Structure formats: C-alpha cells, structure tokens
A and B are shown apart, each in its own frame.
Chain A
Amino acid sequence: MMGAAAIQQFRKRWQHSKYLEGLLYAIGVGAFVYLLTHTILFGVLGLIVTCAIAFWILKPWKISSENAVGYIDAHIPQAGFSSGLLLSPANELSDLSKLQQYRVALQLEPVLSKLRPPHNLLKAALVMFGLMLMGFAARFVLTKFGNQSGGESSNTEQITFAPKDSLTNTTEVPQLIETNITIQYPGYTGKATLNTVDPNVKAVEGSRVTWNLEFDGNVREVEMDLMGEHIDFTKNQESYQLTKKLEASGFYSFTFKDLDGNDYVSDLYSMEMVTDEPPMVQIEGLDNYTYFEFDDDKRLMLSTNISDDFGIDDAYIVATVSKGSGESVKFREEAVRFDRVIPKGNKRIQLQQALDLDALKMDPGDELYFYVEALDQKTPRKNIGRSETYFAVIRDTVTDGFAVEGNLGVDLMPDYFRSQRQLIIDTEKLIADRPNISEKDFKFRSNELGFDQKQLRLKYGQFMGDETEMQAAAGQVSNVEGEVDHEEDHGHEDNEDDLLDEYSHKHDSENEHNLVAEGDNHEHGNEDDVDDPLHDYVHNHSDPEASTLFEKSLKAKLRDALDIMWDAELHLRLYEPEKSLPYQYDALKIIQDIKNSARIYVHRIGFDPPPIKEENRLSGDIGDITNFDKKEVFEYQMPFTSTRETIARLEHLILGGKQFNDQDSALFIEAGNELAPKAISEPMKYLKVLQGLRDLEKIANRTKEKYKEVQKNLLQVLPDVEYNPRKKAEYRDEINLLYLKELGVYE
C-alpha cells in the first residue's frame, strides 16, 4: 500500500535526522578532544563515546510508526486524524474506514513528502562548530603559554642535548635518561648534601659538585667544557660521573660523542660560587669616644652582636692601650676573652662584656682603642670580621695645667708667641666680641694683641739683622709688656740657640734638616721653620746662589712685612683692631710668599752628584766599550681578535654569501673562550652573547635571525679598538706626485 509506504518513509526520515543530530554532537566533541590533545586516538574515542551517549539519549530507533502517525495527524489537517488507517491492512478495515483510508492516502500523498520530521539539527550543528572553535582557542592558548612553561622547565631543570652537525638519520640518537647533580657543601656549613637535576649550580666556595649522567644509547665519551677547559667524565658502570670542587664562578656545557663520532652539545649552564661572608660584628650602645675622669668608675659595658652566614667559631676583644704622647708614645695590645664561653657554630650570638680600664692598667692620660674580632668556621682559612674601633680615654688631670716650662712639642706653641695667622684670628674675635665685653677688657686685649704683633715683628726682625730688638723674641716672656725690658738682659746668643732648638729638629746635616722642615706643616711651626734656612743663608756668603739670587728679594720682602707689622701693631695699640686687620693680612701674605720661595730653594740644593773616579775622568778611553745588542719579541694580538672576526664572518653568513662550515665553528668557539673570562665578572651582560655563540653549534639554530641576534649582541659587548698606528694602502697618482715634486722644487 502506497500510503503505508509513505508513512514508513517519513518515520525513516525522522530516525535519520535523529541519528544525524547525535552524530553532529559526537563530531563536535571528538574534534574538541582532538584539538586539545592533538592525538587522533583520543579524538576517535571522544567521538564514539559521545555518539553512544547521544544515541542513548535521543533513542532514534524508538520512533515507531505510531509516533509518525501521531505527528502527521497533529501537523497535517488533511490527514483528518486518520493517517493511522493507512497502516492497517485493508482487509481488516470496514468499508467506511476503507473509504477514509483511500481518501487520506490520496490527500496525504503530495503533502507527506514535504512534511519535515521534528529535529534539532541546527542546534546540533551550532554546538558542533562551537566545540570546534573552543578546541582551536584552547589549542592556541596551550601552545602560547604551555610551550613557554614547558620550554623553561626543560631549560632549567634538565640537561638537553642537541646534535652539533646534521645527522645521518639511520643512527639512533642516544638520549640522556637520567641526570643527577649532587652538591656536597663543605663540612663546616652544616648543610646537607643536595641532589638536583638543575644544571645551573649555585653553591658555597669549596663545595664538591658531582654530575651523574646516564644515557640510554651507546656513548663514546662525555666531556665537560668549562670555559675552554675540557674535563672528561669517568665511566661508572652505566653512568658517567665527574666530581669537581667549586673554586670559581663560570659557565659550562657538556658534549658527548656517540659511537659514530657524532657530536652532541648541551646548552650553556652557569656555575656560581658563593663566597662565605666574614662574620658581621657590631658593638651597640656605645659612643665612639668615651671619656672618663680620673675618679670615675672606669668600667665600660659593651654589648656585641655577631652574625655569620654559616656559623661563628670564635670572638674576642682586641684592646690597645697607648701611653704617653708625642714621640714617647707606647702601645700595648692584648686580646680580652669574653667571660661567656662562645658556643661554636651559632649563626648569631649576642655577647656582653665589661671592660675594666683599671684591669688594663691604664693611668690618666692613657687611651684605649678596642674592637671586637670574630672568626667563622670556614676551612682551610677562617674568615675574620671585626667591628669598628672604639676609643676610651682617661682624662689627664695634669695636661690641663701644662706650663710653658714643659718640653715643647712643635705643635704646642705657647700662646705668648702667636703667629700672624693666629693674630688675625684673635683680632677678628676681638672685633666680634667688642659689644659684649667691657671697655677696659677690650682695650686690654687689643693692647695684648699689639704686644704679640710686636713679638712677631721682633722675631722676624732678628733675621734682618735688627739685632737690638732680638732679645724679645723668645724665652720666658710673660703677657705683661713691662717685662720685656727685663728680658733684654738675656744674652743674644742664648736666645738664638733656644729658638732653633725649640722650633726645629736638628739633624746631622744641614741639607736633611731643610727637607724635614719642609714636610713639617704645622701652622705655627711652619713660619719659624721656614725662616731657619733663610737665617742660615743670610750669613752664608760663600754660596753665590744664596747671596745673590734669592736673598735680596727675600730680604726686601721681609723688610716690607716688618714695616707692615709696625702699622698693624700701631693700630692695635691705639685700640683700633679694625684698622689693624688689613695690615695684618698684608703681612701674612708676604710671609707666605717668603715661605714658598724658601721651599723651592730647599729643593734646588738637594742634589749630591755621585763621586767620579778621578783617574778615568776625561781620559777619552772607550776601548772597553762595545755595542750592546738586545733582542725581544712581543706577541701582540688585538684584544678580542676572534670575536671581531666573528662579526665579519656572521655578516657573510647573514648575506648568504657562504655556508656554515667547520672553520666558522672553530672561530665561534674561540670567540666564546675570549669572552668567557669577561662573563664571569659580568654574567648579566655576557651570558646572552655566550649562549648565542654556543647555540650556533647546533644545526637548528643556524638561521639568519639567529646570526643577526648574535652579531648584535657581540657588537654590544665588544670594547672599542685600541689605538695602534697601521700602514694603510694608498694609490699614488702620478699627477699628485708630479705636483708634489714641483712643489718641492720651487720651495
């Protein structure tokens, strides 16, 4: 029956659309899984599983003829809710039913083929494309970020090898299957042995590093390339082993050969040596200078913080006591142990100790310098750390009353004899103080300064031969002017002796004496010392240089200075220090001039020619003299020659003018070795370059971009070329030569 067949067809179409729907979902999921994992197997698996689930949910086989009839009746009015009749065999139907069946079959025939079974194909297709899109997106994200992290992990955590040359594909590439790096720290650090796979080693100085490499293929020899130095691994059953003591920072890489002689090279790894820091010592709560009076309780509490990176071995106080002053100073050094026993190996300790100055047998006027020294446990030689130096002084009660009678040090000029500079300072101070002091006081001080000015003038005057006033220059003069007269009785000779004794050091030779005096730069002493040579040579008429060249001008200058001092004194005596000041400055300036010219003079006479054998002198005998020959060869090589050559070679490679060959490889290794020493001191700057050069060993990296990158980096780190005169090639043009020749002729 035709009607029944049409309904069956419709049912089939319905089922097909359901299957298709399920398949679409399955394809979507399958594609998603495939894109995510990039494995066909997972994709197919996903497809099948989803397919099964979708079919189980949609159940297309369950669509029966009744379902179809129901759908047709609901959607086609022409069916008149009687399409079910079409399925019934004709002999089972009543006549009326037959009639209806016939009518329905007739009416349904054109419509039924156009009726679409209910479906969700559009939705399914959308879901499929959506899943595919998601798959692509996920793939993109994974390659972008996944690779980065993946690459990093392989770089930092594992050693990877790449062939140095292109390989014949027939051979199996030996694989590194196990890497084990053992770092054994020195015993004193107390650190446990560290096992790692990270080839970038960072350890304390003196650590022992052991590399254990295991390959699954057959490997002929394994080497470590430590900045140009090749160290062989020893074979230990299945694995290769190398132990090295860490003595310096550097870079290394591994190379191995397989049985066919193919070379493989690893990346460049760093080996960083951490030096053991010396202990840090700090003294707390104490001023750098501590002063004690004679009757104080002379105890010093000091509290110390000591820290070290691995452990402290010992600590103590080093105390130095100085007694006396000037040339008679004496030092005594002793180590003071802490009361507490120092626990060994602690990383941080705090110590308290009282220093009893009496126990150190210190007297008033003595000084104590002390610091704390700490040692760590480093072997073979311990690191030593020390604190700042602190001072403790017991004030000397006697020095305060120090009198003129004491044996004078040069720098302790008694105030009765002031230098011109001192006079100026005092005068300025007096001017500044004027509003605050009484009239009488002011006048007294001004007068006093005038006296000092006089003293100074007299002192210089004696060198000028102003002998009548010389007696006032030195000796025991009080501040009172009147006493000067009294002093006049003193012998002139004595005074002069005194003067020299006090303000200069007398040595054996005149010459030496002058040299020492020059170096003696104390403010007061200087002026006087400088005068001494002058004084000597004024009377030394036998020396022509002294009596003519210098003496005259110096004398005139000194005379000027004395004249000005007169004026300065005058104004001081008139209680007009302001007016006196300019004169004082003038005097100072001239005195400085004299001092400086005297200095040059001292230099000039400081040469003693070596003695000459009289019998050989001017004999003209050169018989024994022969030619003297000397031969020497300097191996000069411009710094970084190979590196510079590498740059030119890379330019060739970039332009594509030549192929990479063994010579290039050798050159690049040489360049790497040149740069390696630099890299240790500045790893940040050079590591990239070194790695780049090393990468060129691998065939995969020999690309134009890589060459360019390496070249750029090389150019960046290379220092400038040294200056060196060179011979240049130049063409000599006949016209130019002719011109030059003519120029010479008519010159």
Chain B
Amino acid sequence: MNDGMVLVNQNLLVPMILVGLVLWAVFIWKEWSQRGERRFWIKLIVSFLAILSLVMTLLKPSVWQDSISGKGIVLTEGYETSQLDSLKSIYKRIQTEDYMKGRTLSILDDVDSLFLLGRGLAPFDLWQLQDKSIAFIGGKRVEGWTAISHENKIPFGEKLHLNAKHSDLKTGHWAILADNGGNPLDSVPFEEVDEQLIQLNAKPKASGQFVYRLLEKDSEGNIISEEPIPIQVLEGKPLKILMVNTFPTFETKYLKNFLTEKGHELLARTQLTKGKYKFEYFNGASNPIYGFTVENLKEYDLLVMDTDSYTALGRSSKEAMEEAVKTHGLGVFVQPDENLFRLAERQSPLQFDRDFITEITLGVPVQSVQKYPLEFKNDVRTQRISVDSANVAAYVPMEKGKMGTTLLQNTYQLFLDGKEELYAGIWTQILNNIAREQEALAKWKALTQTPRLDEPFQFEVRTSMSGIQVTTDKEANIPLLQDGLVQSKWKGVVYPQKKGWNELKVSNDSVAHYSYYVFDGNQHKTISQSETLKANLRQFGSENTFGASVSASKKAKKPISPFWFYGLLLLCLGWLWLEPKLSG
C-alpha cells in the first residue's frame, strides 16, 4: 500500500507545504509565550497534525488498488433488447451507454469490464476499448448485402468480376449488375439459403471512371436495394512484339495477322535458310534482329518464338534473352511442339506431365480445341492461365519478366471455323498474362473498405519514389508514415470532404494519382455493418465472457477518503479548543 502513494493534486504540493509551514509558524509564534511548558509541545504536535490533515484534504493522496470498479454495458447499433434485459436482470443497476460514432465513451472512466452489445464500435473507435475487458455479445444479424468485392481498376477490354454476399435471400428476387446508365449486364436469381455468394461478370464498354450499380429486384421488377459499384476502366497500350520462327506455320501466320490487325507493333522473323531471314515489319517496327542482345530485346514487350528457335539459341543469345527477361521484364512465349515437352529442366523452366487428353472444350457455344496430351507440372513457380476455367497455358515468372507456353495446338482452326472471337479471347488471355507490364510509379491500396464522409480513410501507398508527398484534390498535404521495415511502404489518413470520386495526388508526379469513391450514408450500409462486426470480432473474439487476466492485473488509483482527514482535523481542533478551557 505504501509503495504506491500518489497525490492527485501533485501540482499543489509545494505551495501547500509552504502555506502549511507559514500557518504552523504563525501558530508557534502565537503560543511562543507558553514555551517551556509541556503543553506547548503537545499543542505543537496537535497543530501540526491539524495543518497536515488540512493540506492532505486538498492534496488528495491516493493509492494503487486492485480495481474493484464495476461492469458496464455499451450499446451499439443493432443490439437485441432481450439481451440487454437479461443482462440488466443479472447485474442490477449496471451502467449503460449508447455508442455514437466518433464520440468518446464516458462510461469508460467508471468501469473496467464492458459488455459490448450490437455490432460493435466503428473500427476507428476501437482504440477506446484497448485496455478494457470486453465481452462482445453481438447483435442482430446483418440483413442484405454483407460483402461486395470487385476489382477497382480494370484494364479496358477485360471483365469486371464482382463477388457479393447476401444474407437476406428472398425467393424470386434477383441480383442484377447494371452499368452506369442503368442497363442490366448480368443477373443471378436468389436461392433459398442462409447466405449466398453471388458472382457477376460484365465487360465494360468504355474506359473512364464509372459508378456501376448492384441492384436487388423482386419478382415484379421493383428495385429493393441499390448499391453503387465504383470502377475505373483503364485503357492499355499496344504491345511491341518480336516473333521468331524457323519456318512458317499456320499457327504463326494467324497469330501474326491477329496481332497486326489489332494495331500492335510487330517484327516477324522467319528463317529462309542458313543466315537468311524473311523480315516482316508491321505498324512501325524497324531494325532487323539477327542475334539476341539485351540492347535489342529490351525495347520489346513480348518475344514469341517457336520451340526450334528456342532450342537452337546460342549460349550468348540465351543469356541475353534471360537477362532481358529478368531485368527488363520481357515476356517470352514459346510456341510449343513435341520437342519442347522433352526438354530437361536446365534447358527450360517449363515442365510437363502427360495427361493423354487431346481435346478440351472452350467458349460459348462450346467448341472443342486440339491440345497436346500434357499438363503443366505442379510447381511453385508455374502460374496457370485459364480460359473458361480450363488451363490452357502457363508461365514461370523470372524476376521482372515471364516465360510461358500453351498446351493448345492448331488454334487457327478456330479462326477458320469462324470462331474468331474465341480465338481472340484465348490469345488475348494468354498474351496479356505473359507480355511485359508497364512499370507504374506507385501502387495504392485502400485500408478502409468503405470510405465515408468525414470519417478517416486509411490508405497505403507503395512507391520507389523518395520523398513522396501526397495531397488531396484541394491541395491539402497529407502526412505519411513510412513503414519501419519496408522503406517503400507508406501509410496515411485522410478525411474526405465530398461524396463521390475523390482523388489523391502525388505532388511530384501527375500520373501516379489515386481515385477512391466516398459513399453516401445510405450506401453500402449493410456492408459497413458487417465490416464493423468483423472488425469487432477480430478485436474481441467471439467468446462473450471477460478474460480473467485482464480483470486481475488491473489496478486503479483510488484516492483516500477525505473523511479521515476531516476527523483528524476535528479532533485536533477540538483538543486545541478544549485544552485551554480544561487547563484554565
């Protein structure tokens, strides 16, 4: 008890001691005449005690004590009244407080154990409960959309994949994905289950920033709910491609035609005989290439070569190619034939197993495509490329670049059969995965799932730029926090001031800006609720009892009751008042 005596009004200590000493000095001077008598000394002691108790009532000394303060209830959105009632019947006169977003809870001063009812505190308010013992009891089920996830940025020409979860499924209702004009793009009927995962796909028809809609409609077509889906469709750039062949094949010819008609810059080299080549320059390609060097390969995004060319590469050419792949991000696509599948591991990073299937079906309507009777070996590095959920190709990342191949053969047959779209789809998918990516300066990530007006929006930015400065669209600087371990990772918080699209800019670069969509209070409501619930469950766990350790190790400052000092003062003053009368 003595180890931790603390004064509440520590700041008054010095003046109080001075005043007390002065008072005592005055008293001593007043009684000076009685010096030499025994009662003078008694009076001195008594008066000292009286002044000390006076000083102590003002200084309020307190001691550390095991906390014995009570329990409380915090009510958050969506709590069950029945739970509250039963808690109240167990703990009579328990304190309760309604939680409001962003406001500090006052109940926290008085209690150390809290029952948290409802869906919990907003994630940015969780710090308030950090050193409390919490029993998170939960609340009503979230009804409606509980999660919506989709790519925020989509390359133009690719599909938007939207996954959503709905927990309040009514038969006859539909989930519909509509574009920014309100035209339906995809739909899924609800099933009679507790929670349904809904997957919707759509291919945006234009590039730019749009707000798509996720609608819930009943069987009569009335809109039940409408959630905005903000997306950014980014236009890509045409590729620069080098095609190297030992002899012309139909496969090469059709691939070449397809790529050149789509505006890609392409240099095709076909060997005529030893040391003589046929060079075809399309869409502005120039400079013939004989042997590979890092210099002449690094400007290409994609190198397409047949197996014979690949195996016949000289040592220096191969090293140059690998160097270009590793440091400059060149993508290499090897057109397969049986020889490729027999190459040893040191010759080619791509390894295969036989599966004896010579045909797969793709597309709608279904079309069968010839395939080599092999599959890719399972390997950590091998990344599969699938079209219509069938693995048609794979690549191996090699530092910045990639090297890949396909298992399909004679795909030009699709073109001849009039299935140009399927042909284009397959090759677009494959080449998009393998071709070099343009290096972006920064990568942004929203840490706050549902940004809202005047609520903190946390973001993360990774960039190799040094001294990055982020500003809002109103040119306000946002301070960034650099990650301790990863130098290129920064964190920041911004409080958005307008609904809809907001922008974060990097002050020293105009390209690396970031757009995020700020939702209205009514939008994504159920999603926020379920996010809050998840955040609280993460924080407090789903066990609804107090952790014993928290309660035990908790100590609180407790002031010594001033009545003790009053009593002492009264006794002392009483003695001083009575003593002359008794003795006199």
Chain A interface residues toward B at CB < 8 A? 622, 625-637, 644-645, 647-648, 651-652, 655, 708, 711-716, 718-735, 737, 740-741, 743-744, 747
Q: How far is A747 from B380 in the complex, measured between Cα atoms in Å?
A: 9
B112 contacts the other chain (CB 8 A): no
Q: How far is A734 from B156 in the complex, measured between Cα atoms in Å?
A: 27
Q: Which among B183, B205, B425 has the highest number of chain A CB atoms within 10 Å?
A: B205
| Beta-carbon contact of B442 and A731 below 8 Å | yes
Residues of B within 8 A of A741 (CB): 399
Q: How far is A714 from B431 in the complex, measured between Cα atoms in Å?
A: 30
B119 contacts the other chain (CB 8 A): no
B550 contacts the other chain (CB 8 A): no
Residues of B within 8 A of A631 (CB): 280-282
5 contacts between A and B (CB under 8 A): A627-B276, A634-B283, A636-B263, A647-B206, A726-B155
| Beta-carbon contact of A724 and B262 below 8 Å | yes
| Beta-carbon contact of A627 and B180 below 8 Å | no
Residues of A within 8 A of B260 (CB): 632, 634
Q: Which 5 A/B pairs are nearest by Cβ-Cβ distance?
A: A726-B236, A636-B263, A648-B208, A712-B181, A731-B443
| Beta-carbon contact of A731 and B441 below 8 Å | yes
Q: Which residue of A lies closest to B349 (CB)?
A: A747
Partner of B157, one of A632, A724, A735: A724
Residues of A within 8 A of B280 (CB): 629-632
User: Using a CB-CB cutoff of 8 Å, which residues 393-441 of chain B contact chain A?
Assistant: 397-400, 421, 424-425, 427-428, 431-432, 435-441
Known: A725-B435, A729-B439, A733-B488. Is A713-B400 also a contact (CB below 8 A)? no
Known: A713-B181, A726-B237. Is A628-B155 also a contact (CB below 8 A)? no
Residues of B within 8 A of A744 (CB): 326, 381, 398-399
Partner of A723, one of B180, B273, B381, B424: B424
Q: How far is A655 from B237 in the complex, measured between Cα atoms in Å?
A: 27
| Beta-carbon contact of A731 and B283 below 8 Å | no
Partner of A729, one of B208, B234, B463: B234
Q: Which residue of A lies closest to B428 (CB)?
A: A723
Q: Number of contact residues on B: which range applies? A: 35 or more
B365 contacts the other chain (CB 8 A): no
B179 contacts the other chain (CB 8 A): yes
| Beta-carbon contact of B439 and A731 below 8 Å | yes
Known: A725-B431, A747-B381. Is A712-B183 also a contact (CB below 8 A)? yes
Q: Which residue of A lies closest to B261 (CB)?
A: A634
Known: A644-B207, A715-B181, A747-B349. Is A722-B424 also a contact (CB below 8 A)? yes
Partner of B205, one of A644, A724, A734, A740: A644
Q: How far is A743 from B383 in the complex, measured between Cα atoms in Å?
A: 13
Residues of B within 8 A of A724 (CB): 157, 262-263, 424, 428
Partner of B239, one of A714, A726, A734: A726
A735–chain B nearest beta-carbon distance, Å? 6
Residues of B within 8 A of A711 (CB): 180-181
Partner of A734, one of B180, B204, B464: B464
Q: Which residue of B lies closest to A636 (CB)?
A: B263
B462 contacts the other chain (CB 8 A): yes
Q: How far is A629 from B286 in the complex, measured between Cα atoms in Å?
A: 10
Residues of A within 8 A of B123 (CB): none
Partner of A727, one of B203, B210, B237, B278: B237
| Beta-carbon contact of A743 and B237 below 8 Å | no
B525 contacts the other chain (CB 8 A): no
| Beta-carbon contact of A734 and B236 below 8 Å | no
| Beta-carbon contact of B439 and A655 below 8 Å | no
Q: Which among A648, A720, A731, A733 has the highest number of chain B CB atoms within 10 Å?
A: A731
B288 contacts the other chain (CB 8 A): yes
B350–chain A nearest beta-carbon distance, Å? 12
Q: How far is A732 from B183 in the complex, measured between Cα atoms in Å?
A: 37
A642–chain B nearest beta-carbon distance, Å? 11
Q: Which among A631, A722, A725, A735 has the highest number of chain B CB atoms within 10 Å?
A: A725
- What 12 additional pairs, Cβ within 8 angstroms, besides A630-B280, A726-B239, A729-B437? A632-B260, A632-B280, A633-B283, A711-B180, A719-B205, A721-B205, A726-B156, A726-B236, A727-B238, A731-B462, A732-B439, A743-B380
Q: How far is A633 from B260 in the complex, measured between Cα atoms in Å?
A: 8
| Beta-carbon contact of A622 and B274 below 8 Å | yes
A44–chain B nearest beta-carbon distance, Å? 50
| Beta-carbon contact of A628 and B272 below 8 Å | yes
| Beta-carbon contact of A627 and B279 below 8 Å | yes
Q: Which residue of B lies closest to A656 (CB)?
A: B500
B18 contacts the other chain (CB 8 A): no
User: Using a CB-CB cutoff of 8 Å, which residues 499-515 of chain B contact chain A?
Assistant: 500-501
| Beta-carbon contact of A715 and B205 below 8 Å | yes
Known: A629-B281, A716-B181, A731-B462. Is A725-B398 also a contact (CB below 8 A)? no
| Beta-carbon contact of B181 and A732 below 8 Å | no
A273–chain B nearest beta-carbon distance, Å? 31
Q: How far is A634 from B235 in the complex, measured between Cα atoms in Å?
A: 20
Partner of B206, one of A630, A645, A740, A747: A645
| Beta-carbon contact of B261 and A725 below 8 Å | no
| Beta-carbon contact of A730 and B438 below 8 Å | yes
| Beta-carbon contact of A728 and B437 below 8 Å | yes
B364 contacts the other chain (CB 8 A): no
Residues of A within 8 A of B437 (CB): 727-730
B255–chain A nearest beta-carbon distance, Å? 11
| Beta-carbon contact of B278 and A655 below 8 Å | no
B209 contacts the other chain (CB 8 A): yes
Residues of B within 8 A of A743 (CB): 380-381, 397
Q: Which residue of B lies closest to A646 (CB)?
A: B206
Q: How far is A71 from B41 in the complex, measured between Cα atoms in Å?
A: 120
| Beta-carbon contact of B279 and A628 below 8 Å | yes
Q: Which residue of A lies closest to B236 (CB)?
A: A726
Q: How far is A735 from B435 in the complex, measured between Cα atoms in Å?
A: 21
Partner of B282, one of A625, A633, A645, A712: A633
Q: How far is A725 from B428 in the complex, measured between Cα atoms in Å?
A: 5
Residues of A within 8 A of B421 (CB): 722-723
B24 contacts the other chain (CB 8 A): no
Residues of B within 8 A of A720 (CB): 203, 205
Residues of B within 8 A of A722 (CB): 157, 262, 421, 424
Encoded as 1 (CB less than 8 Å from any A CB) or 0, chain B from 22 to 55 comes to: 0000000000000000000000000000000000
B208–chain A nearest beta-carbon distance, Å? 3
| Beta-carbon contact of A726 and B180 below 8 Å | no
A715–chain B nearest beta-carbon distance, Å? 4
Known: A632-B281, A647-B206. Is A725-B276 also a contact (CB below 8 A)? no
Residues of A within 8 A of B380 (CB): 743
Residues of A within 8 A of B288 (CB): 627, 629
B200–chain A nearest beta-carbon distance, Å? 16
Q: How far is A720 from B364 in the complex, measured between Cα atoms in Å?
A: 15
Known: A622-B273, A715-B205, A729-B440. Is A651-B279 also a contact (CB below 8 A)? no
Q: How far is A723 from B428 in the complex, measured between Cα atoms in Å?
A: 6
| Beta-carbon contact of A715 and B262 below 8 Å | no
Q: How far is A719 from B435 in the complex, measured between Cα atoms in Å?
A: 27
A94–chain B nearest beta-carbon distance, Å? 93
Q: How far is A645 from B235 in the complex, measured between Cα atoms in Å?
A: 11
Q: How far is A367 from B157 in the complex, measured between Cα atoms in Å?
A: 62
| Beta-carbon contact of A632 and B282 below 8 Å | yes
Partner of A622, one of B156, B237, B276, B425: B276
Known: A632-B260, A633-B282. Is A626-B397 also a contact (CB below 8 A)? no
Residues of B within 8 A of A727 (CB): 236-239, 301, 435-438
Q: Which residue of B lies closest to A735 (CB)?
A: B486
Residues of A within 8 A of B399 (CB): 737, 740-741, 744
B541 contacts the other chain (CB 8 A): no
Known: A711-B180, A723-B425, A726-B236. Is A740-B397 also a contact (CB below 8 A)? yes
Q: How far is A633 from B282 in the complex, measured between Cα atoms in Å?
A: 5
| Beta-carbon contact of A733 and B443 below 8 Å | yes
B459 contacts the other chain (CB 8 A): no
Known: A655-B501, A708-B181, A715-B205. Is A728-B438 also a contact (CB below 8 A)? yes
Partner of B263, one of A628, A634, A655, A723: A634
| Beta-carbon contact of B440 and A731 below 8 Å | yes
B277 contacts the other chain (CB 8 A): yes
